Amino acid sequence: MENSKFINDNFINYVSKVSPRTNEVRTLFRAFWVGGLICCLGQSFRMLFENVFSLSDDVLAAYVSMVMIFLGGLLTAFGVYDRIGKYAGAGSIVPITGFANSVVSPAIEFKTEGYIYGLASKMFVIAGPIIVFGISSSVLVGLIYYFIYNVL
């Protein structure tokens, strides 16, 4: 099958020229202040755990992540997080709360197809690539680190 027969480059150029664009100044500003706020929230939890509960340095990061993931999941379940995401874009996708949202939202959505074939198997449809590439790249970076410090 030859597809170039019907493709109309003039039309594609015209469409891309007249298509409405994302207002980048506005979306960047929104992402900046909401993303920043989420990070400040995380940092304040860290300071709270450090100074009030006197937790040691190596468990602090894990505790903060746990609290933020819980909050992300909770807000998703209450139907609030998608509204934040609609407003803030990457500002609420990039922090760890966004990761929680990407796992919880398909879990809620696909529960209708049952707990095994629906909820459990569809839970990682969005977070799956993040996990795969996150783990692969951490292995790669680990190997580089090993060679630089132990072999050279």
Of 39 and 60, nearer to another protein (C-beta) is 39
Report in angstroms how near the CB of residue 101 gets to another protein at its nearest: 5
Report in angstroms how near the CB of residue 140 gets to another protein at its nearest: 26
- Angle subtended at Cα 95 by Cα 136 and Cα 126, rounded to the nearest 5 degrees: 55
Report in angstroms how near the CB of residue 137 gets to another protein at its nearest: 23
C-alpha to C-alpha distance for 60 and 119, rounded to whole angstroms = 31
Residue 75 tokens read as 């807000």
Burial of residue 105, with CB atoms counted within 10 A of its CB: 0-12 exposed, 13-18 middle, 19 or more buried: buried
- For residue 38, which of 68, 1, 66 has the smallest C-alpha distance? 68
Report in angstroms how near the CB of residue 51 gets to another protein at its nearest: 31
Of 45 and 81, nearer to another protein (C-beta) is 81
Of 49 and 110, nearer to another protein (C-beta) is 110
C-alpha to C-alpha distance for 16 and 119, rounded to whole angstroms = 39
Report in angstroms how near the CB of residue 41 gets to another protein at its nearest: 16
Of 48 and 125, nearer to another protein (C-beta) is 125
The DSSP call for residue 118 is: I
Binding site for another protein (CB under 8 A): 3, 6-9, 11-12, 14-15, 18-22, 27, 76-77, 79, 81-86, 88-89, 92-93, 98, 101-102, 104-106, 108-110, 112, 126
Which pairs with CB-CB distance under 8 Å and at least 24 residues apart come from 2-7?
none
